[in-house]
Amino acid sequence: MKVYFERTTRSAIVIWATTTVEILIAAILYTSLRTASVQESTSLLITLFVLVGLIILGFLLFRTPLLRRRNTKQSQTAKESISANEQIAWLQKYFDQTSDLILHEKLHESEPDSPVRHIARARTLITLSQLDATGKASIIKFLYETRLITPAIGPITRNESIITLLGVDLRKVILIGANLSKADLSGADLSGASLRDTNLSEASLERADFSGASLRHARLNGATLTWANLSGADLMDANLSKASLERADLSGANLSETFLSGANFSGANLSKANLSGAFLSGANFSGANLSGAIVTTKQLDEAKSLTGAIVPDGSTAP
């Protein structure tokens, strides 16, 4: 679209310049008519008529791309407005329907395989499919505040969440600074998400996809990230102390200045990860792949275990 507008602007400038020259020539010809002979006047008059026609044509050609550009911008604005209104309508409908399930259908007290839970999850999936990253963030915050993606409450406290987000598309969602402590986001696709300063302490994040996500300064202490995909994620200065990262993929991740004390990385892939300045006291790297990782020997000496791990130089620790 940008290239189209640039080409349109250039064309309009050329037409405008050409038309201006034609107007000047026409003015000169008109002045000449006053002193010319009859025969000369006829030739000059024909030439003048041709130039006037070209001037009118040039004006139309100059006006057309400008009108097209203005109409295109108006159309885009209208579409964006309609899209925003549609999203607001989807969100309001979802909030109302889910609130009804909570207040009148006892969703919080329902059994794991009950119809009301299936309805709640189905509505959640349908609504999320209609929203952009900002709208999806609103849904996640609503689910968290209504205790639908945290351990269930009721007569008997259960470990599972009421609405599971397994396989849900939350790519590039923006949840900067959000409080999602103990939330269940297991299996969700959060690739490219903005999660700076987000509180995910003790959250259930098994098999979640955080590839390329921004998790700087995030709190992930005590979180469960087994088999999670954190490849290329930015975790600088995040707190991952006592987190479970067994079999997780952290290849190429930025873990500089990160707190990893007591974290479990057994069997994890940390190849080419940046661990410069990270705190590894008591961390378990048994069976982990640290080939090509940026980390010092002094740092690794602080780890609890390196048994069977592939260290940065490619050798295997005893």
Mean pLDDT of 264-281: 97
**Matching residue, tokens 């740092």:** 299
Could you tell me if 275 and 255 are in contact, meaning their C-beta atoms sit under 8 angstroms apart?
A: yes
Phi-psi region of 272 (alpha: psi -120 to 50; beta: other; left: phi over 0): left
Tokens of 160: 């599972």
Per-residue model confidence as pLDDT tens digits over 134-165: 999 999 999 999 999 998 654 444 557 999 99
Query: Helix (H, G, I), strand (E, B), or coil: what is residue 77?
Result: helix
Alpha helices per DSSP H over the chain: 2-33, 38-104, 115-128, 133-145, 297-301
Count of alpha carbons within 13 angstroms of residue 304, beta-carbon side:
14
Mean pLDDT of 16-35: 56
Per-residue model confidence as pLDDT tens digits over 67-94: 566 655 654 543 444 488 889 999 999 9
Longest dimension (CA), the chain: 110
Q: Which residues contact 296 (CB under 8 A, 6 or more apart)?
A: 276
Tokens of 299: 């740092």
This prediction has a pTM of 0.74
Q: Among 151-155, 220-224, 261-265, 309-313, which stretch is predicted with the lowest mean pLDDT?
A: 151-155
Could you tell me if 189 and 148 are in contact, meaning their C-beta atoms sit under 8 angstroms apart?
A: no
- Residue 240 CA: distances (Å) to CA of 24, 72, 150, 203, 253: 75, 49, 20, 11, 13
Tokens of 68: 């097209």
Q: Give yes or no for residue 25 having a pLDDT over 90.
A: no
- pLDDT of 79: 42
Distance CA 159, CA 169 (A): 23
- pLDDT of 49: 59
**Matching residue, tokens 């919080």:** 108
- pLDDT of 83: 81
Per-residue model confidence as pLDDT tens digits over 247-261: 999 999 999 999 999
Give which of 240, 164, 230 is closest to 202, Cα–Cα: 240
Give which of 279, 275, 305 is closest to 290, Cα–Cα: 275
Distance CA 67, CA 87 (A): 30
**Matching residue, tokens 């010809």:** 29
Distance CA 234, CA 197 (A): 12
